[in-house]
Amino acid sequence: MIGLSKALVEQFDGEVPGRLEELVKLPGVGRKTAFVVLGNAFGRPGITVDTHFQRLVRRWRWTEATEPDKIEAAVGALFPKSEWTMLSHHVIFHGRRICHARKPACGACPIAPLCPAYGEGETDPEKAKKLLKYEKGGFPGQRLNPPQAYLDAGGRPAPPLGAG
Ligand code: SF4
């Protein structure tokens, strides 16, 4: 953190640069972090391939690639560029909360009907609920409230599991 702060002050006059090539030269900043910064702070779309993203896109058969840059290219070809940043967030949060590496909570997963890997994890709804992990004040089995902007745009909360 100290090295990063020094580099920002010494090389960029204390401003965070808005270009990938410059961001990745900063101490502790790789492509993954750089894309998060570009997407969220500068509005420049990017695909963030972290460990969750890699695992999930393979489970969903979006790609068989194992190297981050190949995954980035393969998934990037499936979605419009304008969706890349939010897509990355959604996939990563799904991996953190529901589709875990060792014990995916398939029985409590809202996209289970769409998933070619359904059954890799626990399918019993009650047991699966106990596997869910939410951040900040969440508890197993809790559904997060959708963001207000999503509701304002006509979005609807996901129906309860099993409600069709
Ligand atoms: S159904 Fe299971 S494997 Fe598929 S996304 Fe949900 S938790 Fe992951």
pLDDT tens for each residue of 45-70: 989 899 999 999 999 999 999 999 99
Angle CA 28–64–98, to nearest 5: 65
Q: Is the CB of 120 under 6 A from ligand 1?
A: yes
Does the global pTM surpass 0.75? no
CB 97 within 8 A of CB 158: no
> Does the beta carbon of 128 lie inside 6 Å of ligand 1?
no
What secondary structure does DSSP assign to 92-108, as a single string?
A: HHHHHHTS-SS---GGG
Task: Report how far residue 83's alpha carbon sits from residue 45's, in angstroms, rounded to the nearest whole number.
Answer: 7
Whole-number average pLDDT of the chain: 86
Block residue for tokens 């790789």:
30
Query: Per the structure block, which two tokens stand in for 27?
Result: 């101490």
Pick the closest to residue 117 from 53, 63, 65, 60 (CA basis).
60
Residues known to be catalytic: 32, 50
Residues near 132 by Cβ (< 8 Å), separated by ≥ 6? Answer: 97, 98, 105, 108, 140, 141, 142
Q: What is the mean pLDDT of residues 128-139?
A: 70
**Confidence category of residue 161, pLDDT binned at 50, 70, 90:** very low
